[in-house]
C-alpha cells in the first residue's frame, strides 16, 4: 500500500516546468475567459451596441443586472447575416487546435450560434478557411445559451489571427457568442507581448487538478513529509458519502494549545469553483516544504498558529464539474450539493434574529450581541440543511476559530460581513457589522497583497468594478443573501470569516495554476498572519484555573466574544487603545485598558476574576445544604456523626 504513496510522492514533488507548447491534441485556452487576452485583441465585423461588443465575447462572461447594460452577456453582431465575424489576435504565431462557444448570457433573450466556419490569417488581410479536402469545414455550434460546446480541428493550424464566422443561428434570436480559443503559442523569444505575459513560479509544487482520490493521496504525502506538524482528519461526509478531509498544520497537531489562535481556510463550497481547492492544496505543500527548509516566517506562523485547511467542502459538486472539465463545465455545473443546496448560503439566518431583538431594545440586557443561538427549526431533521453544512457547523462550534477565509471563484474581490441588508433596507446598501474597521482591514490585507486585485489597470471580470474600495466590498452591498457562512460565523461563534474570490475563471485550465499560485500566495500567507492582530489573553480565577465562556467586551464595539474551554480568548482589533471588560457568571466584573500597536503580535491582556459577593453567598448556602442560615448562630454539626468516624 505504501509504495503507491511513495510513487505519487515522487511524481508530486518532481520539478514542474512550464510547458507552453503541449501535446498535439490538447492545447490550453488562449485566455479569453481568464482575461489574459485583453480587450484590444478582440474584434468583430459589427456589434449591436458597445455593451455587446467584441470585448464581451468571452467564455462564461456574465451579463449585468439590467437590460442595455454597459456590461452585457456576450458579443452580438449588429446585423444577422452570414458575413459576420468575431476575431482574436493572438499577437504571436499560435498553433490553433479548437474553439469553444456559448450563447449570450441573458435573463431575457435567447441568442446562440448553431453553426460556424473558422478562418485564420497571419496579417488579418488574407484569410484561409479551415477545410476538409476541398470543402469548407462547418462546425456545429450551440443548442442553448449556457452549455459550452467544443469543436477540435481535424488538423491544427498555425497562424496569428483567428476568426469565427457564424453561418446559422437560433431563429428566435440574434448572432451572439461567448468564445474561448484553444491554442499553443509557438516559440518566439523576440516577441514583446510574450515576455510581458509570462509568469513562472520557482516553487516546486504539484501544479495540477486533483481528483478526490488524488487530493487524499496528496494530503497523505504531505503528512508523511511533515509528520511533526500535520494531521489529517475529517469533519463529516458529503451527501454521496465522501469524507470532508481537513489537514491541520501546527507545531503540536491534534491539540489546542493555551493561547494559540486557530485559523481556517475552506474552499469549494461551490463545487465548480475549483481554483480555491487547488490553492489550498498548494498552500499545504508550501507550508510543509518551507517549514522543513527552515523559512523563519513560515516556522513562526506554524509554531504560533493552529492552521486548518479544508480544500473541498463540496466534493460531490466538484466531481460533476471535473467530469465536464475545466473548459466545458460552464458557469454553474457542480455549484450545489448533490441534493441541490447552496452550501455557503445554507446556514441559519441569525441576522434577522439579532436585528429583531435590537429593534425591541433587548440588546444587550435581554439578548446577547454575539453567540446567537441556532433556532430550533433549523436543528430539526426536516429542515433543508445539506449534510456538508451540518458538518461545517459542527466543526465551527467545536474548534475555537478566531479567523477564517473561504475561497470562492468567478470574481476578483474579498467580501466581508454582513452579507445581508437589513429588512426594509435599500437594495445593495452597505450593511456594516460593529467590527467594520477590522473587517475592512482583514479584507484589505488579502486584496492589497494579491497580484491583480488592486491593479488599477486591470479589466473587470464581469460587470462590477471593485477598484474604488481597493478590491474589497461589503457583502450586502454587492448582492444581499441570507444565511451565509460569514454572517453565521460572526454571529454564532467568535470567528471572523471572509470570502476571497480568487479569480475571474472559476475553473482555470491546469496550465494556469502556477500563475494563480503566484497571484495568491502572498495574500494567503498575509491573511493567516492577521490572526495575530488585536488582543489575547487568559481569564482565570484566583486559583489560576481558566474560566470558560467569559464574555469579553470592548468599549465602543457592540459585539462581544467569549473565552474558549481553557479560558483563553482572542479579540481581533485594529491598532488603538481599548477599554476591555470581562464578565463571567459567578465572578465580579473586571475592566482594564489594553493597547494594540502596529507591530504584528497580539497584545496580551489577561484577567484574574474574583468570585462575586452573590455567588459567594450562594456557595455558602450550598455548603449548608440550602437551609436557611442563621448568621449569628450558625448550626452546629451533629455530634453523633463525628463519633461514628
Residue 379: CB minimum distance to ligand NAG, A: 9
Q: Return the SS3 of 134.
A: coil
Residue 613: CB minimum distance to ligand NAG, A: 4
> Do the bridges between strand 603-604 and strand 535-541 make them parallel or antiparallel, or are there none, so unpaired?
parallel
Q: Site map for ligand NAG, 281-320, x if CB under 6 A?
A: ----------------------------------------
Q: Which is nearer to ligand NAG, 23 or 133 (CB)?
A: 133
Instruction: Choose the binding region for ligand NAG from 117-125, 168-176, 343-351, 459-467 (rule: CB under 6 A).
Output: 117-125
Q: Which of 190, 380, 543, 627 binds ligand NAG (CB under 6 A)?
A: 380
Q: What nine digits make up the cell of 477?
A: 452591498
Q: Is 640 in the site for ligand NAG (CB under 6 A)?
A: no
Q: Which is nearer to ligand NAG, 41 or 494 (CB)?
A: 41
Q: Site map for ligand NAG, 137-166, x if CB under 6 A?
A: x----------------x---xx-------
Alpha-carbon gap, residue 116 to 164, rounded angstroms: 6
Q: Is 128 in the site for ligand NAG (CB under 6 A)?
A: yes
Residues contacting 320, CB < 8 A, separation 6+: 271, 272, 329, 333, 334
Residue 369: CB minimum distance to ligand NAG, A: 23
Q: Which of 21, 482, 588, 629 binds ligand NAG (CB under 6 A)?
A: 588
Q: Is 228 in the site for ligand NAG (CB under 6 A)?
A: yes
Taken as a whole, the chain contains a residue count of 645
Q: What nine digits make up the cell of 241?
A: 458519502
DSSP 330-388: TTTTT-S-TTS--GGG-S--HHHHHHHHHHTT-TTTTS-SSSPPPPHHHHSTTS---HH
Cis peptide bond N-terminal to 418, omega within 30: yes
Residue 133: CB minimum distance to ligand NAG, A: 6
Residue 100: CB minimum distance to ligand NAG, A: 17
Q: Which of 7, 14, 25, 122 binds ligand NAG (CB under 6 A)?
A: 122
Q: Which is nearer to ligand NAG, 19 or 132 (CB)?
A: 132
Residue 334: CB minimum distance to ligand NAG, A: 29
Q: Is 124 in the site for ligand NAG (CB under 6 A)?
A: no
Q: Which of 1, 377, 631, 637 binds ligand NAG (CB under 6 A)?
A: 377
Q: Which is nearer to ligand NAG, 631 or 643 (CB)?
A: 631
Q: Which is nearer to ligand NAG, 125 or 361 (CB)?
A: 125
HSE at residue 99, side-chain half, CA atoms within 13 A, is 31
How far is the first Cα of the chain from the last one, in angstroms, to the nearest whole number? 65
Q: Site map for ligand NAG, 497-536, x if CB under 6 A?
A: ----------------------------------------
> Which of 309, 348, 612 has the alpha carbon at shortest distance from 487?
348
Q: Which is nearer to ligand NAG, 69 or 585 (CB)?
A: 585
Q: Which is nearer to ligand NAG, 153 or 239 (CB)?
A: 153
Residue 313: CB minimum distance to ligand NAG, A: 26
Residues contacting 477, CB < 8 A, separation 6+: 421, 428, 429, 430, 431
Residue 366: CB minimum distance to ligand NAG, A: 22
Total number of residues binding ligand NAG (CB under 6 A)?
Answer: 18
Q: Is 120 in the site for ligand NAG (CB under 6 A)?
A: yes
- For residue 629, with 0-12 CB atoms within 10 Å meaning exposed, 13-18 middle and 19 or more buried, which class applies? middle
Q: In this structure, are residues 77 and 47 in contact, taking their beta carbons and an 8 Å threshold?
A: yes
Q: What nine digits make up the cell of 491?
A: 454571529
Q: Which is nearer to ligand NAG, 133 or 544 (CB)?
A: 133
Q: Is 384 in the site for ligand NAG (CB under 6 A)?
A: no
Residue 126: CB minimum distance to ligand NAG, A: 7
Q: In this structure, are residues 271 and 321 in contact, taking their beta carbons and an 8 Å threshold?
A: yes
Alpha-carbon gap, residue 480 to 364, rounded angstroms: 26
Q: In this structure, are residues 450 and 515 in contact, taking their beta carbons and an 8 Å threshold?
A: no
Alpha-carbon gap, residue 235 to 101, rounded angstroms: 39
- b/e map of 111-137 (b: 16 or more CB within 10 Å)? bbbbebbbbbbeeeeebeebeeeeeeb
Q: Which of 202, 382, 630, 640 binds ligand NAG (CB under 6 A)?
A: 382
Residue 197: CB minimum distance to ligand NAG, A: 21
Instruction: Choose the binding region for ligand NAG from 114-122, 388-396, 460-468, 636-644 (rule: CB under 6 A).
Output: 114-122
Alpha-carbon gap, residue 411 to 148, rounded angstroms: 20
Instruction: Choose the binding region for ligand NAG from 120-128, 264-272, 307-315, 508-516 (rule: CB under 6 A).
Output: 120-128
Q: Which is nearer to ligand NAG, 376 or 622 (CB)?
A: 376
Residue 141: CB minimum distance to ligand NAG, A: 14
Q: Is 202 in the site for ligand NAG (CB under 6 A)?
A: no
Q: Which is nearer to ligand NAG, 75 or 587 (CB)?
A: 587
Residue 316: enclosing H or E segment and its boundaries? helix 315-324
Alpha-carbon gap, residue 571 to 217, rounded angstroms: 37
Q: Which of 1, 17, 293, 613 binds ligand NAG (CB under 6 A)?
A: 613
Q: Is 65 in the site for ligand NAG (CB under 6 A)?
A: no
CA 228, distance to chain mean position in Å, is: 28
Instruction: Choose the binding region for ligand NAG from 2-10, 118-126, 434-442, 490-498 (rule: CB under 6 A).
Output: 118-126
Q: In this structure, are residues 277 and 318 in contact, taking their beta carbons and an 8 Å threshold?
A: yes
Residue 448: enclosing H or E segment and its boundaries? none
CA 434, distance to chain mean position in Å, is: 23
Alpha-carbon gap, residue 506 to 109, rounded angstroms: 24
Q: Which is nearer to ligand NAG, 154 or 241 (CB)?
A: 154
Q: In this structure, are residues 386 and 445 in contact, taking their beta carbons and an 8 Å threshold?
A: no
Q: Which is nearer to ligand NAG, 159 or 495 (CB)?
A: 159
Residues contacting 55, CB < 8 A, separation 6+: 39, 42, 75
Q: In this structure, are residues 478 and 422 in contact, taking their beta carbons and an 8 Å threshold?
A: no
Residue whose grid cell is 485547511 = 309
Residue 137: CB minimum distance to ligand NAG, A: 6
- Binding site residues, ligand NAG, CB under 6 A: 93, 120-122, 128, 132-133, 137, 154, 158-159, 228, 377, 380, 382, 588, 612-613
Amino acid at each position: 500500500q505504501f509504495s503507491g504513496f511513495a510513487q505519487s510522492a515522487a511524481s508530486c514533488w518532481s520539478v514542474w516546468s512550464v510547458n507552453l507548447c503541449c501535446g498535439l491534441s490538447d492545447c490550453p485556452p488562449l485566455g479569453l475567459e481568464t482575461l489574459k487576452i485583453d480587450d484590444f485583441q478582440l474584434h468583430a465585423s459589427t456589434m449591436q451596441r458597445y455593451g455587446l461588443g467584441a470585448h464581451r465575447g468571452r467564455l462564461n462572461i456574465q451579463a449585468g443586472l439590467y437590460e442595455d447594460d454597459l456590461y452585457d452577456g456576450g458579443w452580438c453582431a449588429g446585423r444577422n447575416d452570414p458575413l459576420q465575424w468575431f476575431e482574436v489576435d493572438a499577437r504571436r504565431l499560435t498553433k490553433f487546435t479548437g474553439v469553444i462557444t456559448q450563447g449570450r448570457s441573458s435573463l431575457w433573450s435567447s441568442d446562440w450560434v448553431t453553426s460556424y466556419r473558422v478562418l485564420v490569417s497571419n496579417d488579418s488581410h488574407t484569410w484561409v478557411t479551415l477545410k476538409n479536402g476541398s470543402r469548407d469545414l462547418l462546425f456545429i455550434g450551440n443548442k442553448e445559451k449556457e452549455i459550452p460546446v467544443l469543436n477540435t480541428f481535424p488538423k491544427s493550424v498555425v497562424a496569428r489571427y483567428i476568426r469565427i464566422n457564424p453561418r446559422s443561428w437560433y431563429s428566435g434570436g440574434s448572432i451572439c457568442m461567448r468564445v474561448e480559443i484553444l491554442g499553443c503559442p509557438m516559440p518566439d523569444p523576440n516577441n514583446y507581448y510574450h515576455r510581458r505575459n509570462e509568469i513562472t513560479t520557482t516553487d516546486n509544487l504539484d501544479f495540477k487538478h486533483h481528483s478526490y482520490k488524488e487530493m487524499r493521496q496528496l494530503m497523505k504525502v504531505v503528512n508523511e513529509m511533515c509528520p511533526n506538524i500535520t494531521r489529517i482528519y475529517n469533519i463529516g461526509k458529503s451527501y454521496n458519502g465522501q469524507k470532508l478531509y481537513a489537514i491541520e498544520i501546527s507545531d503540536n497537531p491534534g491539540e489546542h494549545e493555551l493561547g494559540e489562535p486557530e485559523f481556517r481556510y475552506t474552499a469549494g463550497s461551490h463545487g465548480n469553483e475549483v481554483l480555491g481547492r487547488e490553492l489550498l492544496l498548494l498552500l499545504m505543500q508550501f507550508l510543509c516544504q518551507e517549514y522543513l527548509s527552515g523559512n523563519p516566517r513560515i516556522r513562526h506562523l506554524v509554531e504560533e498558529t493552529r492552521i486548518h485547511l479544508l480544500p473541498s467542502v463540496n466534493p460531490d459538486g466538484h466531481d460533476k464539474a471535473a467530469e465536464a472539465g475545466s473548459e466545458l463545465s460552464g458557469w454553474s455545473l457542480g455549484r450545489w450539493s448533490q441534493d441541490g443546496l447552496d452550501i455557503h448560503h445554507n446556514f441559519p439566518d441569525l441576522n434577522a434574529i439579532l436585528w429583531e431583538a435590537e429593534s425591541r431594545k433587548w440588546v444587550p440586557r435581554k439578548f446577547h450581541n454575539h453567540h446567537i443561538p441556532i433556532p430550533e427549526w433549523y436543528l430539526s431533521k426536516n429542515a433543508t440543511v445539506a449534510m456538508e453544512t451540518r458538518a461545517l457547523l459542527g466543526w465551527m462550534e467545536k474548534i475555537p476559530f478566531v479567523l477564517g477565509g473561504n475561497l470562492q471563484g468567478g470574481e476578483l474581490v474579498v467580501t466581508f460581513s454582513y452579507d445581508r441588508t437589513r429588512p426594509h433596507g435599500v437594495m445593495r446598501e452597505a450593511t456594516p457589522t460593529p467590527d467594520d474597521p477590522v473587517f475592512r482591514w482583514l479584507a484589505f490585507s488579502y486584496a492589497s497583497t494579491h497580484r491583480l486585485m488592486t491593479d488599477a489597470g486591470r479589466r473587470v471580470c464581469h460587470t462590477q468594478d471593485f477598484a474604488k474600495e481597493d478590491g474589497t466590498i461589503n457583502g450586502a452591498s454587492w448582492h444581499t443573501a441570507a444565511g451565509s457562512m460569514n454572517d453565521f460565523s460572526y454571529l454564532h461563534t467568535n470567528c471572523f470569516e471572509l470570502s476571497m474570490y480568487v479569480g475571474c475563471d472559476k475553473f482555470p485550465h491546469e496550465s494556469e495554476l502556477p500563475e494563480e499560485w503566484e497571484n495568491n500566495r502572498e495574500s494567503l500567507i498575509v491573511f493567516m498572519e492577521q490572526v495575530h492582530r488585536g488582543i489575547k489573553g487568559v481569564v482565570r480565577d484566583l486559583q489560576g484555573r481558566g474560566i470558560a465562556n467569559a464574555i469579553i467586551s470592548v468599549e465602543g464595539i457592540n459585539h462581544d466574544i467569549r473565552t474558549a474551554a481553557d479560558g483563553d480568548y482572542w479579540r481581533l482589533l485594529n491598532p488603538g487603545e481599548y477599554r476591555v471588560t470581562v464578565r463571567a457568571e459567578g465572578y465580579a466584573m473586571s475592566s482594564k485598558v489594553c493597547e494594540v500597536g502596529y507591530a504584528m503580535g497580539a497584545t496580551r491582556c489577561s484577567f484574574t476574576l474574583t468570585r462575586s459577593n452573590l455567588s459567594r453567598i450562594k456557595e455558602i448556602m450550598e455548603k449548608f445544604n440550602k437551609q436557611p442560615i442563621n448568621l449569628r448562630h450558625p448550626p452546629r454539626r451533629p455530634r453523633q456523626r463525628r463519633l461514628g468516624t
